[in-house]
Structure 1
Amino acid sequence: MPYRAPLKDFRFLFDKIVGLDKVAATDRYAEATPDVVDQILTEAGRMCEEVLAPLNWPGDRNPARLENGVVRTSPGFDEGYKAISEGGWVGMASDPEYGGMGLPMTVATAVNEMMSAACLSLQLCPMLSQGQIEALEHHASDELKALYLPKLTSGEWSGTMNLTEPQAGSDVGALRTKAEPNGDGTYKISGQKIYITWGDADFLPNVVHLVLARLPDAAPGTKGISLFLVPKFLPTEDGQPGERNGLRVVSLEEKMGIHGSPTAVMEYDNAKGWLVGTEHKGMAAMFTMMNNARLGVGVQGIGVGERAYQHALAYALDRTQGKAGGSGTIVEHADVRRMLTHMKADLFAARSISLMNAVAIDMATATGEASWKARAALLTPITKAFGTDVGNAVAHEGVQVHGGMGFVEETGAAQFSRDARITPIYEGTNGIQAMDLVARKMMDGGEAAFALIDELEKTAEAARSTHEDLAQKVWDAIQALRETTEWLVDQDMQSRFAGAVPYLRGFARVLGGVTHLKAAVEGESGRKALATFYIDRLLPEHEAHFAHARGGDEGLYLLTLDDLAAA
């Protein structure tokens, strides 16, 4: 089944749901006119359909491999990456001073979703570079910016993120990688990092690693971590790759999915590096990259889900079985129709939330207003967790639509499920996203959340004149969100954490209900039909999620460890 970029959905969302016009009205993004945005979407969609999508299956069948110290990439990935870099898609949202397009993050997010749907394994390479570019733009010295940003922005070189170590996963503060001053402004970096996405590739002349490490006088925990830029090849005076640095790929992980993406174990042995930002403030700089990546990973989940949905729909339209309906194909069966409609409704909700998030980022960048920064921060963990949960659920359901053939690799349905499974795990597990939402993002006493809830109420109220029944159901769900948020901010952290995941899921369900309601008001009959399905059948899940959240930690530890282990 060929991939088709969902350009109609993006245009509708930009124009009617998320308000891209607000972004284009700012001085910063005045060039993002509707005509320009439409041209960009069209060109990116064409590349994804014609160049990247055909690489997805070969990348799964022919994984990246380590051969005599060289990372050999999947067939066609070199040409696919060339299309991405030469099209300027790596630096879409990057600073024009260093060769970027300077486009809104909202537009870049749409393009990243399409690239993820087309070939997630390959899209991971430019996504990591995009995060590194943003981190360097905000925290690097002028000298580092001038040398590295043009190469990264053009896609000539790629970037990675090095946090995790064998003993330090989510607990980043436990890392042991060392950095020692050389006395000339550079540092010797030594240690091992794991799970390094696109740690190397045979078609890249240089790979630039951002590495978290400890200086000799570092304090314990995250407060003692610094960030360093460590290239594979040390640039010469004219900026070309020169002497090989003291780092290497030890091995590549054999993974459940994303086989075309080389996931490396990296070893640093007195590798030469440069400090990014200030000493012992590495986590602040890395979080700039991680927040970018969390939005990107949420979109990856949506992209894989979209590809899985299209694949399942095509199969259902073609597979003949039974006598349901007039066509005799399984798409006429009630349960198959339920699965497909559920998939489409959830994808629309998740896509809407991701673009709301991106608009908030753009408005914060363009205006500097604290309220937009708070909105962007609030929506980031929701985007990441809900987008990847939806991607997994849709890919899982896609296998089910295929029936027994979904369990057979040659249909391709299983690959989407295997590929999507990583997205709720990396860049901070979805449990960590939920904890971030109820802790760090509620340090303001819920002010940002209540400001968003106020806006959701206004949307529901405005829809009453034309869609009273749907608007009332959404209004009731918003009130449940408000009441649960009021309860949450009065709890201690243990109670918040115990109900964090269901709270985030309920929050996302309500956001999805509001965006579907707006679509029913603004769109044609098909939009209303999809909104009615979501609001009547999926939105009620918020009640169970919020009831679970309000349970806090009461009774959570009544089951002893012996009870848990009992057969």
Structure 2
Amino acid sequence: MPEYKAPLRDMSFVLNEVLELNAHYQNLPGCEEATPDMVAAIMEEGAKFSERVLSPLNQIGDQQGCQWSEEGVTTPEGFRDAYQQFVEGGWPSLAHDPEWGGQGLPESLGIVLNEMVGTANWSWSMYPGLSHGAMNTIEAHGTQDQKETYLTKLVSGEWTGTMCLTEPHCGTDLGMLRTKAEPNDDGSYRISGTKIFISAGEHDMADNIVHIVLARLPDAPEGTKGISLFIVPKFMPAAGGVGDRNGVSCGSLEHKMGIHGNSTCVMNFDEATGYLIGPPNKGLNCMFTFMNTARIGTALQGLAHAEWGFQNSLAYAKDRLQMRSLTGAKCPDKAADPIIVHPEVRKLLLTQKAFAEGGRAMIYYTAQLVDKVHQASPEERAEADGLLALLTPIAKAFLTEVGFESANHGLQVFGGHGYIAEWGMEQNVRDSRISMLYEGTTQIQALDLLGRKVLMTQGESLKRFTKIIHKYCQAQSDNTGLKEFTDPLLTLNKEWGELTMQVGMKAMQNRDEVGAASVDYLMYSGYVTLAYFWARMAETAQQKLAESDSDKAFYEAKLTTARFYFQRILPRTRGLVATMVSGADNLMSLDDEHFQF
């Protein structure tokens, strides 16, 4: 059976040694209680829960899936009991306001827990994961009465939440949305319509499910400017619990490629009672609170599948005997050498390792930006918010793309055995594939990055981050031992700005140039961003090796992996530059009718 072991040493390295978590917390009002001892204790307990409770349920969830009936949806064996343990342990309340029963700890600490939970069992993690975005949305935009009614139950984990956007005819283009909201005399609304692809839309793990729903008011203008946001509970809230069943039900479950342990529902709203959140016709603006949370969570999924695939393929590569090393037998007492001696197998393993460890640094950095957006001074908050706006589409799209690549590499290490279900590697590939689709496809994230975040700000959002990279490289200019990392990083950082200018100038003549370059631009941005974090990790490892011999093997491995990334992975940017600047003509010049088969 495949296993998961929380990589606590590497997590601690990124948090404490690279990103200096304690100093970060002590400099933010309200985060001082997150001491190193508390953080370590939370990580240890989170690791135990993830390894002992959730990981053994991962294959069970895939094999059994969820079951639909007219009475509701039942989750796989063990899922409900695990959720009750999760609630009893106080985990849902970790990073929420004490006013609503939360523990008031930083958002970044919640991200650390989510990594362990998600890597151990991504399907299960989606049930509490969707609640997090619902809570953030209600807290940011709800009335005091709505907060008092829903937040306490959501924060405790007694109730869970969902996000209901997509309709059968309407995915990314929410301007086509048809779900209606008719006003009632008491200030509530009658919500009618159908939503699809609703993760955790119906299940048996919690007492109530709170749906955050996009719908149109009768007098709403056309398009995205006429969308409002509503709270629609499965059961109407009553004193101390739940009352009557609302007019919302699960019509069916989707039959999916992966994440079988999570219920992906068709949700029917039949004049269900709902309550407006935020101003009328401003629902899309309010929903971005949810979407930004969800997109960082999906970036985490890329890391999860890379880490899980790496751990299990590494164990297999050390154990599986096949052929002899080209440089002579490494295990002459055995029938053959373990496959980890072969260069191409090592390339597969190192690629997974580089993406998992680099992705961890990127996500933890964005999590610290989230802390600053919530807790810092107005000036720091604005700076962090600008950086987060740029890095969110990069993290979401890039890390899920390379996470899927890593999952495939993990399967490849197993050879034919990877294609067999018992090893779990094919499940990891199937489960990871959705990450590039939901919460905005890679292509949508790329348009958001290049079109909205970069070109529409005249490159100001990009300059905010490239300036950080430039200053870092300049500060290390006298560090000769780090030049193998900082010199190419400095060159690429400069090129990043030049490419942006080049694409932007073309786009002034032809807007298709943005779409034609966008995915290549995003992936280029991702490789450069990851290079920055690998340079920082290499610098830290270099310092630790100079200070003492303690944990020498760990730091040497970190430096070696950084070299692998810069020499074997980062050169991918050269191909991306070539395709990015080749223009839109090679995509758009073929007439539609000439696409034939």
TM-score range, shorter-chain basis? over 0.9
- Aligned twin of 1:455: 468
Quick one: distance in 2 between partners of 1:178 and 1:153? 29
Aligned pairs for 1:61-460 (under 5 A) are: 61-236=63-238, 238-324=239-325, 325-327=329-331, 328-367=337-376, 368=378, 369-442=381-454, 443-460=456-473
Instruction: Give the paired residue count.
Output: 565
Q: Is the 8 A contact 1:481 1:546 kept in 2?
A: no
- Aligned twin of 2:545: none
Instruction: Indicate the SS of the match to 2:243.
Output: strand
Instruction: Indicate the SS of the match to 2:62.
Output: helix
Instruction: Indicate the SS of the match to 2:322.
Output: coil
Q: Is the 8 A contact 2:253 2:264 kept in 1?
A: yes
Shift of 1:489: 4.0
Letter in 1 for 2:473: A
Q: Is the 8 A contact 1:210 1:229 kept in 2?
A: yes
Q: Is the 8 A contact 2:166 2:195 kept in 1?
A: yes
- Aligned twin of 2:568: 537
Note the residue ranges of structure 1 that are not aligned, 5 or more in a row. none
Quick one: distance in 1 between partners of 2:76 and 2:234? 21
State the TM-score, normalized to the length of structure 1: 0.97
Note the residue ranges of structure 2 that are not aligned, 5 or more in a row. 332-336, 542-554
Deviations 1:164-199, CA, capped at 9 Å, x for gaps:
000111111111111001111100001110001011
- Aligned twin of 1:551: 582
Q: Is the 8 A contact 2:306 2:355 kept in 1?
A: no
Quick one: distance in 1 between partners of 2:59 and 2:188? 43
Quick one: distance in 1 between partners of 2:439 and 2:89? 27
Quick one: distance in 2 between partners of 1:225 and 1:459? 43
- Aligned twin of 1:503: 521
Shift of 1:300: 1.4
Instruction: Indicate the SS of the match to 1:90.
Output: helix
Deviations 1:23-64, CA, capped at 9 Å, x for gaps:
431113122222221221111111101111111000000000
- Aligned twin of 2:334: none
Quick one: distance in 1 between partners of 2:115 and 2:226? 36
Letter in 1 for 2:100: Y
- Aligned twin of 1:527: 558
Letter in 2 for 1:481: W
Instruction: Indicate the SS of the match to 1:273.
Output: strand
Quick one: distance in 2 between partners of 1:311 and 1:359? 29
Shift of 1:15: 2.2
Quick one: distance in 1 between partners of 2:45 and 2:153? 23
Quick one: distance in 2 between partners of 1:140 and 1:520? 45
Letter in 2 for 1:352: A
- Aligned twin of 1:486: 501
Are 2:591 and 1:560 equivalent residues in the alignment?
Answer: yes
Are 2:43 and 1:13 equivalent residues in the alignment?
Answer: no
Letter in 2 for 1:333: H
Instruction: Indicate the SS of the match to 2:91.
Output: coil
Shift of 1:83: 2.3
Shift in alpha-carbon separation, 1:539–1:356, aligned structure 2, 3 A: same
Quick one: distance in 2 between partners of 1:399 and 1:406? 5
State the TM-score, normalized to the length of structure 2: 0.92
Tell me how large the CA RMSD over aligned residues is. Answer: 1.4
Task: Name the % identity.
Answer: 40
